[in-house]
Amino acid sequence: MEDHHLSQTIVTTLGDLEREGELVDTSSSIERVADRIAEAVLGVVPNTSLSLEELYGVRSLILHAVESKSFFDWEMPTLTGFTAEEFKRIADKLPR
């Protein structure tokens, strides 16, 4: 998984920290260090390349799915690991 924007932000931040004397970079390639940090971060946060419109779409899809009893039937919690009510709470965390 790669997120170029996240890696570049980390490169910039590491450079700022080095200039401020907060750390000393002895690596031959700050980009490699940033990519490894970004990879670790992406294991616990959403991909930053999702646009606001895409997040709106995901929220809308979730809400539409849980309202449809023919789609979100008795088997869906087993398949997804979340109940309709839990999906509503997830949708509430996404941009409106």
Residue 18 domain-assigned (yes or no): yes
pLDDT at residue 1, as a whole number: 56
pLDDT at residue 91, as a whole number: 93
| Three-state secondary structure of the chain | CCCHHHHHHHHHHHHHHHHCCCCCCCCCCHHHHHHHHHHHHHCCCCCCCCCHHHHHHHHHHHHHHHHCCCCCCCCHHHHHCCCHHHHHHHHHHCCC
CA distance 24 to 92: 42
Residue 29 domain-assigned (yes or no): yes
Q: Does the pLDDT value for residue 3 go beyond 90?
A: no
Is pTM, for the whole model, over 0.75?
no
| Ranges 2-6, 9-13, 37-41, 75-79: which has the least confidence | 2-6
Residue 28 domain-assigned (yes or no): yes
Task: Judge if 13 and 31 occupy the same domain.
Answer: yes
- 49 compared with 30, residue with greater pLDDT: 30
Task: Judge if 79 and 56 occupy the same domain.
Answer: yes
Q: Does the pLDDT value for residue 68 go beyond 60?
A: yes
pLDDT, the chain, mean? 90
